[in-house]
A and B are shown apart, each in its own frame.
Chain A
Amino acid sequence: MIKNYKLEITTIIVLLGFVAAFLMVSSGGTHEFTGSDDIGSDKIAELTGVSVDSFAPLIPQYEPPSGEIESTLFALQASFGGLILGLVFGYWLGQRKSMPAS
């Protein structure tokens, strides 16, 4: 029985390990969990000696007016992917069920 779900069990163990590592690191209280993109941008500023705010966009860009709206848009992106995934797997499952077993 366990052998049949080896991959599922492995994935759950890895996910639990990941969560445990996060809890351990975050309980230290010294990390802010900033995006690595932002840390990379800070590094560029450090290397060039120019502050992050001084980097002007070469092409004007829309910026979400707040962090909340940004997270809404990220959620929208993920939900769009989830919708397609659900549709396709549902479609395939329906196809399989309607097939006569040989």
Chain B
Amino acid sequence: MHIMEGFLPWQWCLVWWIIAIPFLVMGIIQLRSMIKKDREYLPLLGVCGAFIFILSALKLPSVTGSCSHPTGTGLSTMCFGVFITSIIGAVVLLFQALFLAHGGLSTLGANMVSMAIMGPIAGYVVYRLLKDTSVNIYITVFIVAVVADLVTYITTSLELALAYPAEVGGIVASFTAFFAIFAITQIPLAIVEGCVLALVFKYVIALKPELVIKLKVFSEEQISKARKNSNSLPETGVKV
């Protein structure tokens, strides 16, 4: 989903940067206050960030005959919200722009909006909708991860379509063309990502259920129920 350096007109680069900056500012404020309040959250933040680092480095082949990479933002979105996720996403995208020529500094705003902002927002909306329902929490994690991943690529398609409308059919035709390139390729990868993140979440609540409860990601009952149904989880001696 990386838009390469020089591939967006400067006016569009500016627009996406202007949209991205408030999220980054809010993210820094939230991150500082969270660290000040309780440093116990830092390892979980590390896990969420690590997953974005790992998954966005893996260019996986897809059934469309092209390669793409998962985004891994779903877990962070559920645990820490959109603003903090935007910071983690921005760090990953900055690394790739500076050292890998993957994306660029001028297009960093656009890439942040798609991967670190719009994907997480969509994932967060789905998470809020499913959070207090009877849906199994692992299925919720799966759906959040899939939606965050797919919306990232849909946003990239839109960003490119807005900058490069087709001569015939305009923005819609252009969006359809980019959607076919990015989003269709992404569907199987998003499903794999969803399964992996659900599995990771299972191990997070096996080892640190109290953190997930403190962050109010899910209620104590939901976590207890999920742990009860997964007897393979190590006994911790901690009441949940």
Interface size class of B (residues with CB under 8 A): 35 or more
**Among the listed stretches B43-51, B120-128, B214-222, which one makes contact with chain A, having 4 or more residues with CB under 8 Å of it?**
B43-51
* CB 8 Å contact bits of A26-43 with B (1 = contact, 0 = none): 100011111111011101
| Closest Cβ–Cβ distance, residue A46 to chain B (whole Å) | 9
| Closest Cβ–Cβ distance, residue B105 to chain A (whole Å) | 4
Residues of A within 8 A of B198 (CB): 7, 11
Q: Is the CB of B181 within 8 A of A40?
A: yes
Q: Give the distance in Å from the alpha carbon of A55 to the alpha carbon of B11 in the complex.
A: 15
Please name 29 pairs of A and B residues whose Cβ atoms are closer than 8 Å in the assembled complex, sorted by A: A3-B229, A4-B232, A6-B230, A7-B199, A8-B232, A11-B195, A14-B192, A14-B195, A31-B65, A35-B67, A36-B182, A37-B102, A47-B174, A48-B164, A55-B7, A58-B104, A59-B104, A59-B106, A61-B5, A61-B104, A61-B105, A63-B101, A77-B95, A81-B53, A83-B50, A87-B46, A92-B43, A93-B234, A99-B238
Mark B residues whose CB is within 8 Å of A. Answer: 1-7, 10, 13, 43-44, 46-47, 49-54, 56-68, 92, 95-102, 104-106, 138, 156, 160, 164, 166-167, 174, 177-178, 181-182, 185-186, 188, 191-192, 195-196, 198-199, 202-203, 207-208, 229-232, 234-239
Apart from A37-B4, A70-B101, A75-B57, what 18 extra A-B contacts exist at CB < 8 Å? A7-B195, A7-B202, A11-B196, A30-B65, A33-B65, A35-B59, A35-B67, A40-B156, A41-B4, A58-B13, A59-B105, A64-B99, A77-B95, A85-B47, A85-B50, A88-B44, A99-B238, A102-B237
Q: State the 9 A-B residue pairs at the shortest beta-carbon distance, nearest first.
A: A31-B65, A81-B53, A101-B237, A81-B54, A78-B57, A84-B50, A4-B232, A58-B106, A81-B50
